[in-house]
Structures are given as structure tokens and as C-alpha cells.
Structure 1
């Protein structure tokens, strides 16, 4: 049996050329399928490039120059060198200070608004100061230690009597019902007519053979032991003869057509009770006078209000507990000690002599020289391969499940084993070991790779 894990992948497109990112110089000749006979299978295979061996002279070492340096010669002499010039050194004499005491104002005298003048007083909030200003307190004219308080004055009302309409004047209407007498009357409820009745058609079912697809030869994806070199190889196409297809269908055939019959339908009538008018309904009108009532009405004559005034001045309203007081805060002083200059700092000058040192000096007696020697280039003969034709991808006839036999498989394995490419059993089963051996055989013999090609079988002497 064939190892189907190595079957070819489905062919995505048969008429679109395949592009190769890794093989830019490969020629694709698979844009059309070959002219084949039914039962033959074709696969995309890689036909190797053709090379010629050419002998060339190759430069292995270019011409070079060697340079020899002859060093310079020197005379040694002694020389006295000034290493440090004479200078003037400046010495700083620090200033003399004395300590004095001074009173410094660290916080100026000020006034601030607080909630009360004793120790429990805290700074008054901006909202509280704004409320006092809005309700008549001039904060800029206040004196230190003066307090202002907030008072609540409730709204004022007065009660009066008022006559109110509780029911408007209206009109009372009484209705006298209409008078009727009872009688009977014969009424036709359905006129005579002619009705049409449908007599349904009759059918019978018959069977018939219908051709749904004619006979044809088509290319189909083949399966078999295909060695996939890359994504472009390994696809197998086989030309297969497909017979025509028929289907038995059931038809419904008319046996007798439908007809219409006409029937006479008589008229229908019935007796119904009837009420005849004797006298119409009538209306009588009467006037109903309006009604009034006296009620007490409370009206507001003054809104509730919050007022501020001097805490020591009496007046209307109830204290809310909000109070602001202008508190005087005295200035703060701190005794600090500072140092004042009694004698300023001065500078003294000190003369420093120059310093000399005896050193050895080298003077050039003869300059350095260079000598250049030319070394000739070296060449070697090498054998290079020159490409005559590029690798190409094309359709070639191959073996697959459609046209393969176990006997053929055994012959392939035997040739591979005799040639030293295969060491497995001769069992006619094309597995991974056989496929790897086929690929190596094809490459060593410069044969197309990518399937069990007929060209390889001819090389092996099997066909």
C-alpha cells in the first residue's frame, strides 16, 4: 500500500504561474497542462540546471611591497630649563568682627476678624464676613474690639375675610324620551344567484431516465508517493475518463383537466320586528343660581430676614449665634545677635624666586630612512562550473496510485538497493525511506526531482 502521508497537496491553480521567492533564477514552465491520454498522471517536477566545467587562472595573492625602516640617530646634550618662573604670593589677612544685639520686628501689628474676643475665638470665614457685609455691616469702618452679631427676623402675616364663589350659576336640563310603537316586516336577506363549482383535475405519476452529466475526460489530482522538494513540486494531475451520469426522475402527468359546473341558488328572506316613531324626545331648561362662601385669608406682609448689628445694640429678631469681632493683634519682636566688622580683611604680598632644572636633550644626527621591495603576484588554476541552462519547473509523466503496481514498486526498490541508495526491504510499499532514496538517486543522476517520473524509470531500465 502507498504511504498517503506523503500524498501531494491540492493544486491551487493550474493556469497561474508559480512564483519562487527562494529560487529567483528558476524558470516556470507549468502554466499549461500537457497533452495527455486518459489514465496518464503528471506532476510538477524540478529539472536541474546544466553546468560546464571550465579551467580559469585565479589570482590567489596580489602583487605587494615590503618596506624596511632604517631608524634615525641622535646626539645627547645637557640643558638648564626654567621649570617655574619667579612670582608674587598673596596672603589673605581675615577681618576682625564684634557681636552686637538688635531688636527686629518679625510680625507687624494688625487687625483680624474672629468669631469671639476670648481664647476660644477662631478666624471668621469669608462666607461669614460676606454675609455681614451683605446685611448692612461696614467692615472698613469697624473699630478694634468691636463685635457684630446676626439675628433672625421671622416673616409677618395678617388675616382678612373674603367672599369666595364656591359654585357658579348653571342651567338644569331635563329630557323627555321619544315614544315608539312595535310592528313586523318581511325582509329579503339574500337574493337568488348562480354558483360555479370547480371539479378538480386528475393526475398520474410516471418515471423517466434523464442524463444529468455527459461523458468527459478531466484532469484530476492524483495521489501517490511524491517527494516534495519545495512548495512548487509534488502536485500530480491525471487525465481520467468519466462516463455519463443519469438520474431516474418521477413526473406527474395530467390525466383529466379540471372543469366548472353552474348551480342555481334560490333567494332567502326573514321576518324582523320594527319600532316606528310616534313622538320625538323633548328637553326642558331651568336656571340654578350661583353659591358663595366667606373664608379667612392669611397674606404675607413681610418676608423673613437675617440682619446684622452691633452686638451691644438691642433690637428685633433672635440671635443665630454667628458673631464677628475685630481683634487687634500687636506687633512681634525678636532679639537677634549680629556680627559687625571692626577691622576689614587685608592682603599681604610674598616674593617667590624662579626654579631651574638641568635636563638631557636629544638632537637628530641622521634622519630615518625607508627601503621598498616589490613581491610579484601569485596565480593558481581552478576548475569552475559555468551554468548553461537554469533550473526549471515543468509537468512530467509520473507514477501514482492510478497507474502504479506493487511489482513496479519492487523493481524501483531493487534498482535503488543495487545502486547503493536504499537498504530497506523489497516489499513494494513506497514509504519515507524509499522516497528519500529516490530523491538522492535523482539528484546524483541529474534527473528531475519531485515525483516518480517516467524519465527516472527509463534511466533505471524499468520502462
Structure 2
């Protein structure tokens, strides 16, 4: 345990000695002085990932196709005036005729006459007497009858639908396309992290003394 503690203490002392030597070399390189804290600029580039996506090029759409109706003209017989009945009346026909009527009948009477001093009785006949006059008489009696008048028809042209119009709906599905693009997973960043200045040993050559314990002097200079 004691030996382990000594080894740890020796390593720490050696590290401090090296740090002190590096600090002195860095200070001489920069005109004297020792550094306290140094930072190193570390640039971390962004990280990208290639992803494949399915994107919509054009959305779905529907279009209506309308076909107009087809019209035509047809001739149709229509009743302009319906049939009906008319009662006809023919009045009586009268005329005038001559009518002879006996006014007085014929008669015979005895008439006393004197002829040359003698008396005579003679039968005297008086003829009948007639009178003629005009009389209005019915020649033809009145008549009534029914007449049926036929219907009056005509031809008219009418506009009718020969073929009805239609509406069709055409729908196009959405169009998609597969694209590949770069996606940033982690953005790049610049940070300053604590660091020790890198120095390199500079060996100065000088004549070696006649001793087996001689070691060349080593000085440290920062790397450019």
C-alpha cells in the first residue's frame, strides 16, 4: 500500500513538472509569461441523413362532364274546337187560299101574279148565294231537329326532349412521387474547449562532456 501511494505521488509530481516546463516554453515563445487557461476551437460539422419521402405532386380532383339534352320538333294533332250539337227549328209554312162559302142556300117560293085579269101563282126559284174570300192556311208544319257539328282539329308543332342530358363525374386520384432529400439530424456547432498548448521539444546540440551521466538539454517550443 505504501509503495502504491509513492508511485501515485511520483506520477503526479512528474506531470506537474512537465506542465511547468511546457508553460515556461510557451511563455518564452510568446515573449515571456506563463499561460493560465487555454481554449481550443472545435468545429463540429452538422450531421445529415438521407431520407426518402412520398410527396403529393397534384391533389385529387373531380371534373363533371355535362351532356346537354337533345331537343326535337314533333307534329301533334290537337282539337281546336270540340264537337257540339245545334238544335235547328224550321217554322211552319203558311199560304193563302181562296175559299168559297155558301152564304144563302137556294130556295123556291110561290109568287102571285096577275096576267090579263087572271091570277096566277108561279114558283120562283132563288139560286144559292156564295161568297169567295182569301184564307191563311198552314202549308207545312214547323219542324225541329238536332245537328251535330264535328270537332275542329289542327296540327301544331311542339318541342320535345328526344334524349335527356347526362352528368358524368370523372375523378382523378392524387399523384405522388418518391423523393430523396438530406435531412439535418444534428446541427453543426462551434465550441471552445479547454486544452493544453501543444509544444514540441527543441534539442540544442552542444559538446558532450566526458561523463557517462550526460543528457542533452531539451527545451519545448509551441507548435506553429
Q: TM-score, normalised on structure 2? A: 0.29
Indicate the structure with greater strand content: 2
- Higher relative CO (Cα under 8 Å, sequence separation at least 6) belongs to 1
| Structure (1 or 2) with the larger CA radius of gyration | 2
Q: TM-score, normalised on structure 1? A: 0.16
